[in-house]
Structure 1
Amino acid sequence: MLPRHGVTPALVYEARQRIAGRVVRSPLVRSAALSARFDADIHLKLETCQPSGAFKLRGATNMIAALIERHGRDALNAGVTTASTGNHGRAVALAASRLGVPAVICLSRLVPDNKVAAIEALGVEARRIGRSQDEAFGEAERLVRDQGMTLIPPFDDPLIAAGQGTIGIELMEDAPELDQVIVGLSGGGLLGGIGAAIKAIRPGTRITGVSLSRGAAMWESLRAGRPVEVEEIESLGDSLGGGIGLDNRCTLALVDEVMDDHYQVSEPAIAHAMVDLLEHEKMLVEGAAAVGLAAIAEHQIEVRGQRVALIVSGNGVSLETFDRARRMANR
């Protein structure tokens, strides 16, 4: 019997075969500085190496390619669309252009200009709607309804979560003795997919989620036991903003099943982590990619003696945003 969220290990392994050669098998590198600082063996999974700059290319490529396999390319003649806080939109744009499918990407006005420009540079339309992910998603739904486009959800679909879950397979191949994986958590496709893969291979590995301190829809939804709406608030970790959808069918149940620990991180903690990663690892990353380090530092998560992987999820940060983080960290 399929689990209610629909994400099985078999689906993740199918995604791995489907996206092979279309996405980067990202490196897992040991951080000497962080390992010494926390008396642990800390590794960084560098999804910043993806051509789109973030992990989202895995899920988007898997879903579009799977739809073509199942229904034929003509089924996507009207194009694909999605709503995004930036990284998923860029991934859909890149995956669609590579697979010869038209695309329209809907974004809220809170999405930073640099992420909008990155999408437009791929030759697809970036349509800005409202001040929340939910408003942008409403426009994507209208394009599906009125123009016959196909929706590529940012997270709430088994094919998307399975695509992101290929990271978990790679982690288990490169570091089979991992004690803990720390993952940024918003809609749940990344953490849920990784967790589904890892728990099937090594159930004892702990999956730790990290959410924003404000505007964290998954945090509030898990507490309520059902999807809830939250106000979307501007954050250094903007990729972790947005709702999970009141009709969430996949990721709420998936995250609830595979996640062992959950923390919220403050803006100053994110700022410090972004600066630390640049100073010590020479990595300029977005706030959402730094929340694993932020959580260890802010909450003093017990990692001593453990082998830990932090998912460095994306590099979509403007110099203006990083400068804001630097000023916050220096206060």
Structure 2
Amino acid sequence: MITVADVEAAAERITGHVIRTPTVPSPGLSALLGAHVTAKLELLQRTGSFKARGATAKLLTLSEAERAAGVVAVSGGNHGIGTAVMAGALDIKATVVMPRSAPGRAVDIAEAAGASVILADTMDGAFALVEELRTKGLTLVHPFDDPVVIAAQGTVGLELAEDAGELTDVLVSIGGGALISGVATALHARRPGVRIWGVETEGARAMSAALAFGGPVPVELSSIVSTLSAPSASQLTYEHVSALVTDVLAVTDAEAVQGTLELADHAKVWAEPAAGCLLPAARRVLERVGEGARLGLVVCGGNATTSDVTAWAERFGLR
């Protein structure tokens, strides 16, 4: 498992390449939820999500030979964008493999950054294709099964610990689990006693399944939230979450989209459902912990278009 020293080293490595995103009290969300809420606005990060942190850290560790050969990433959207854009900025050739369910905007941005994008029929197929490409000499920039990436994602937690007021509970979305693993590591060191809660959608429950089984297991993916749709957790992220996280909650896709609409209305930020899922989960956390809670929400990304969210809202009959 990584340590807070690893996270601090990652913070030094990526300084100047990524943004220290705002950590702000949210009067609107506090009124909505009936508890004090602080939001870490990682949707304002370069490339629109926290993924730029891990991608940058990994790219900066490459040897000259690895840089010359290029890198490959597998992604449901945001990790592909982050790897493509940051590789382009560092003059490294990138190939990004995404499932056909990935947002079209993610494909367009990755290609505009100079990456080669390959579409697979499923997320499982995307991961399999990446393994094939690795045999051709490309270095894998894994979205979550890499201690370098986890430590860099943990810099979100480091900044939250330094910039937020008093917190009792922090909610973090989970796909493969790198973000929550890194954030939990940083917060347990810097804010002992703060509870960490993970949030998944019901059609992408890789970490919940791993916790129930006692280790990573494949899961069937059916969520519209492609950016949280990992086919399984990794042993590395499972170990961090099982040791450091209070519980992992699951919400429906409809609840996640409703959360996106509420973030727009009450927090005045345009987030994606991977972040919208935090609001229904926050209500459940408040039911469990009682009065006096002070919440921190890691608003992880904002790469959904207005058309995407409108279509999902109509599909689920939301207003």
TM-score range, shorter chain: over 0.9
The residue that corresponds to 2:146 in the other structure is 157
Residue 241 (structure 1) aligned with residue 236 (structure 2)? no
1:117 maps to a residue whose letter is D
Counterpart selection for 1:205 from 194, 197, 201: 194
Residue 57 (structure 1) aligned with residue 52 (structure 2)? yes
* 1:38-90 residue CA offsets vs partner (Å, 9 max, x unmatched): 232101111111120000000110111123xxxx3233211000110110011
Query: Structure 2: how far apart are the matches of 1:321 and 1:13?
Result: 36
Query: Structure 1: how far apart are the matches of 2:302 and 2:201?
Result: 18
* 1:168-218 residue CA offsets vs partner (Å, 9 max, x unmatched): 110111125321110001211000000001101122010000111123111
Query: Structure 2: how far apart are the matches of 1:196 and 1:264?
Result: 22
After superposition, where does 1:57-206 map in structure 2 within 5 Å? 57-67=52-62, 72-132=63-123, 134-145=124-135, 147-175=136-164, 177-206=166-195
Residue 260 (structure 1) aligned with residue 251 (structure 2)? no
Query: Structure 1: how far apart are the matches of 2:108 and 2:273?
Result: 19
The residue that corresponds to 1:219 in the other structure is 208
* CA deviation after TM superposition for structure 1 residue 300, in Å: 5.2
Does structure 2 conserve the Cα–Cα contact (< 8 Å) formed by 1:39 and 1:304? no
* SS at 2:81 equivalent: helix
Q: Which moved more, 1:39-48 or 1:84-93?
A: 39-48
Stretches of structure 2 that go unaligned for 5 or more consecutive residues are none
* 1:212-265 residue CA offsets vs partner (Å, 9 max, x unmatched): 112311111110002111111142x321112235xx341111111110122110
Query: Structure 1: how far apart are the matches of 2:114 and 2:272?
Result: 23
* CA deviation after TM superposition for structure 1 residue 37, in Å: 2.6
Residue 282 (structure 1) aligned with residue 268 (structure 2)? yes
Query: Structure 2: how far apart are the matches of 1:110 and 1:52?
Result: 19
Distance change in 2, residues 1:294/1:325 (3 Å):
farther
Q: Report percent identity of matched pairs.
A: 36
Q: Structure 2 length as normaliser, TM-score?
A: 0.95
The residue that corresponds to 2:7 in the other structure is 12
Does structure 2 conserve the Cα–Cα contact (< 8 Å) formed by 1:218 and 1:243? no
Distance change in 2, residues 1:255/1:155 (3 Å):
same
Query: Structure 2: how far apart are the matches of 1:150 and 1:184?
Result: 27
Q: What RMSD in Å do the two structures reach over aligned CA positions?
A: 1.6
Query: Structure 1: how far apart are the matches of 2:67 and 2:55?
Result: 14
Does structure 1 conserve the Cα–Cα contact (< 8 Å) formed by 2:154 and 2:179? yes
Query: Structure 2: how far apart are the matches of 1:131 and 1:89?
Result: 15
Query: Structure 2: how far apart are the matches of 1:282 and 1:271?
Result: 15
The residue that corresponds to 2:256 in the other structure is 270
Query: Structure 2: how far apart are the matches of 1:312 and 1:320?
Result: 20
Stretches of structure 1 that go unaligned for 5 or more consecutive residues are none
* CA deviation after TM superposition for structure 1 residue 95, in Å: 1.5
* 1:259-303 residue CA offsets vs partner (Å, 9 max, x unmatched): 012211012211221111112222221100111112123665446
1:38 maps to a residue whose letter is L
Aligned residues: 317
Q: Structure 1 residue runs of 4+, over 4 Å off?
A: none
* CA deviation after TM superposition for structure 1 residue 143, in Å: 1.1
Q: Structure 1 length as normaliser, TM-score?
A: 0.91
Counterpart selection for 1:231 from 209, 212, 220: 220
